[in-house]
Amino acid sequence: MPNIIIRNIPNSITSCNLFCGCIASYMAFLGDYRNAMLFIVLGAVFDFFDGMSARLLKVSSPIGKELDSLADNITFGLAPSAIVFSLFKEVNIPEFMLGISKLIPYCAFLISVFSALRLAKFNLDERQTSSFIGMPTPANALFWSSLAICINENSILLEEFNALYLLLLVIIMSLLLVSELPMFSLKFKNLSWKYNSIKYIFLIVSIILLTLFRLSGITIVIIWYIILSAITYKKS
């Protein structure tokens, strides 16, 4: 009996991630971006601990790996898609796009599609053990949830940030998910500055940005993450 319980601990944690993703998606469709972001963050916490628990308890399994990807695509794929879907209905539509205004919001679900492709690629790509190739789905989800809060709660941005800009961002971020751009992870094997200088620089600047801009700063942090990864890649 204890063995059965232990074997199911990681999958139970993964299921909590999935549950959070479902709630986040519902909140997003309601336009409640703050609570949507809250449940995305909770889902990310569960996502962190399910893999850790599987390794610590030595109960990793193929079904756990598959369940993890399914849960991630809800929390970090469908939920941000729902956020952008609702956001499309709030921003202004340029005059030349009025003829397809009812169809434009559905472009938000490209995020779900490319997130699924990203997760499938990650499961098969042996290069992504200590770093990432392409944008991690949790970072993408945090980008969209923070951006939605920023736009929704700022009347000037809501007026100026129209559907064309949003559509272009959807395309760019979706392509980044499946791109070949190497992106560093925040896993530390040791605390040495020599081997972790990029991570420390990222964290220091991120703390400053979050202190200055709070929730809206998360969007800037993700952009900073992309830029720093690109600079590091070019240097290498």
More reliable by pLDDT, 169 or 8: 169
Q: What angle do CA 34, 48, 27 make, to 5 degrees?
A: 20
On whether residue 209 sits in a domain, the answer given is no
Give the span between the Cα atoms of 220 and 10, in whole angstroms. Answer: 32
pLDDT given for residue 123 in this prediction: 81
Q: Is the pLDDT at 191 greater than 80, yes or no?
A: no
Give the span between the Cα atoms of 122 and 69, in whole angstroms. Answer: 9
Beta strand extents in 50-191 (DSSP E only): 131-133, 182-184
Give the span between the Cα atoms of 186 and 129, in whole angstroms. Answer: 12
Longest dimension (CA), the chain: 64
On whether residue 208 sits in a domain, the answer given is no
Give residue 236's pLDDT band: very low, low, confident or very high (50, 70, 90).
very low
Structure tokens at 194: 């020599």
pLDDT given for residue 129 in this prediction: 67
Q: What is the pLDDT of residues 94-107, one digit of tens each?
A: 999 999 999 999 99
Q: Is the pLDDT at 233 greater than 80, yes or no?
A: no
Count of domains forming the chain: 1
Q: Can you give the residue range of the structural domain that contains 176?
A: 2-183
- Mean pLDDT, rounded, of the chain: 89
Kindly tell me the sign of the dihedral angle through the C-alpha atoms of 229, 203, 221, 133: positive
Q: Is the pLDDT at 116 greater than 70, yes or no?
A: yes
Q: What is the pLDDT of residues 151-180, one digit of tens each?
A: 998 888 888 899 999 999 999 999 999 999
Give the span between the Cα atoms of 217 and 156, in whole angstroms. Answer: 17
CA-based nearest residue to 16, from 38, 53, 42:
42
On whether residue 188 sits in a domain, the answer given is no
On whether residue 232 sits in a domain, the answer given is no
Give the span between the Cα atoms of 26 and 20, in whole angstroms. Answer: 10
CATH of the domain at 123: 1.20.120.1760
SS3 breakdown of the chain: % helix, strand, coil, rounded to 5? 80, 5, 20
Q: What is the pLDDT of residues 129-150, one digit of tens each?
A: 667 889 999 999 999 999 999 9
DSSP helix/strand/coil, 133: strand
On whether residue 111 sits in a domain, the answer given is yes
* Cα 200–chain centre separation: 21
On whether residue 23 sits in a domain, the answer given is yes
pLDDT given for residue 234 in this prediction: 56
Length of the chain: 236
On whether residue 225 sits in a domain, the answer given is no
CA-based nearest residue to 185, from 123, 122, 136:
136
On whether residue 217 sits in a domain, the answer given is no
Prediction pTM value: 0.90
